Amino acid sequence: MAKILVTGGAGFIGSAVVRHLLSLGHEVRVADNLSKGQVSNIEMDKVEFMKVDLLNPLDAAKSLADTEYCFHFAAKIGGIGYFNKYPAEILRDNTIMLSNLLDAERNSSAKKLIYISSSMVFERTEHFPSSEEDIFTSPPPITHYGFSKLVGEYYCRAYADQYGLKYSIFRPFNAYGPGEIPENEVGIAHVIPDLIKKMHIDKQYPVKILGDGNQVRAYTYVTDLAEAISTCALSSKSDNGDFNVANPQAISVSELAEKIWKLQERGKPLKFEHLPPFKDDVLKRVPDTKKMEKIFGWKAKVPIEQGLKNTFDWIIKKSGS
């Protein structure tokens, strides 16, 4: 079994990966600044926890010391509103954190860095479903978050080319599930916790959504992502490769909202109040997952109806509603 660093391991997806790695018998160190992550997301007695600032190269080196693998989840991340509110911080901090870890890896015994990219690298593609090869022919992302993730992928390849460092790149598509807390400001949270809060906690009616509701996404349950990334990243089959990790089922925001509305009897039909969309909102993002299926035999297991019910139950319980 391996000794593994998980940056951002107290966050939403990172903590799910930590739990899966522990279930496989690995020794896990979590490095997190707790700006968004919470210690309640992890079993503190089962991990080595370090509160660090990965913008500091010394903290990055300290975090990576004596580990074999680094799963890099730490990032400035949020919904489309978050991307528009903090563009400079997103671009600056995401790039610096990764470069600090890659430089630390050069001077360590670590075998590989697992970089968690994003489906946002495909935000301007016109080819659907989007495969890994499309990243090299699609226009670069418009949002600073998407661009920061694309730059991160190029960083990994550059350090491999110049210094021989191994990497694996995984691109989650629209993660959701228990563990992600809704926000109060429009667009700061991701759409599923945002809609659950509006409909079933705030009792908002009509329900406010950004745009016309025709934006299409593929939503992937967090335990499916955790299983895929935890297992496949440690295989040599993933060395210096990039992989879309997703449930490929496409659904519009309005269709998604209907499913969430029906999770609790409201006695009236769903009605929307359409707000102006953010200027960089992406109309369609749908993955091709054949590469993960072919190389690892992996497919997402949790259907969206079950995933939404699990997420709804967790958020309602957390809110005390």
**Is pLDDT at 81 greater than 90 in this prediction?**
no
- Nearest Cα neighbor of 174 from 221, 210, 127, 213 is 221
pLDDT at 48: 99
pLDDT at 188: 66
**Is pLDDT at 91 greater than 80 in this prediction?**
yes
**Is pLDDT at 186 greater than 70 in this prediction?**
no
Cβ count near 26 (within 10 Å) = 18
Compute the radius of gyration of the chain from its Cα atoms: 19
- CA-to-CA distance for 19 and 46, rounded, in angstroms? 9
Q: Express each pLDDT in 149-162 by its tens digit.
A: 999 999 999 999 99
CATH number belonging to domain 3-175+220-245? 3.40.50.720
Distance of CA 147 to the CA centre of its chain: 15
> Mean pLDDT, to the nearest integer, of 264-272?
91
What percentage of the chain carries pLDDT values higher than 70? Answer: 98
Q: Express each pLDDT in 275-288 by its tens digit.
A: 998 887 889 999 99
Three state DSSP letters for the chain: CCEEEEECCCCHHHHHHHHHHHHCCCEEEEEECCCCCCHHHCCHHHCEEEECCCCCHHHHHHHHCCCCEEEECCCCCCCHHHHHHCHHHHHHHHHHHHHHHHHHHHCCCCCEEEEECCHHHHCCCCCCCECHHHHHCCCCCCCHHHHHHHHHHHHHHHHHHHHCCCEEEEEECCEECCCCCCCCCCCCCCHHHHHHHHHHHCCCCCEEEECCCCCEEECEEHHHHHHHHHHHCCCHHHCCEEEEECCCCEEEHHHHHHHHHCCCCCCCCCCEEEECCCCCCCCECCECCHHHHHHHCCCCCCCHHHHHHHHHHHHHHHHCC
Give the architecture-level CATH label for domain 177-217+249-285+301-319.
Alpha-Beta Complex (3.90)
Window from 3-12, 19-28, 243-252, 272-281 with minimum mean pLDDT: 272-281
pLDDT at 61: 98
pLDDT at 281: 83
pLDDT at 72: 99
Distance of CA 73 to the CA centre of its chain: 8
pLDDT at 77: 86
pLDDT at 122: 98
* 177-217+249-285+301-319 shares the fold of 3-175+220-245: no
- CA-to-CA distance for 90 and 145, rounded, in angstroms? 6
| Side-chain-side CA neighbours of residue 42 (13 Å) | 31
Supply the mean pLDDT for the chain: 95
Split at pLDDT 50, 70, 90, the class of 82 is: confident
Q: 319 vs 119, which has greater pLDDT?
A: 119
> Mean pLDDT, to the nearest integer, of 111-126?
97
> Mean pLDDT, to the nearest integer, of 2-23?
98
pLDDT at 84: 83
Domains of the chain, by residue range, sit at 3-175+220-245, 177-217+249-285+301-319
What percentage of the chain carries pLDDT values higher than 90? Answer: 89
Q: Express each pLDDT in 236-255 by its tens digit.
A: 999 999 999 999 999 999 99
pLDDT at 67: 98
> Mean pLDDT, to the nearest integer, of 164-169?
98
- CA-to-CA distance for 67 and 200, rounded, in angstroms? 44
pLDDT at 184: 72
The tokens describing 77, both together, are 């991340």
pLDDT at 280: 76
**Is pLDDT at 321 greater than 80 in this prediction?**
no
pLDDT at 63: 98
pLDDT at 187: 61
- CA-to-CA distance for 20 and 17, rounded, in angstroms? 5
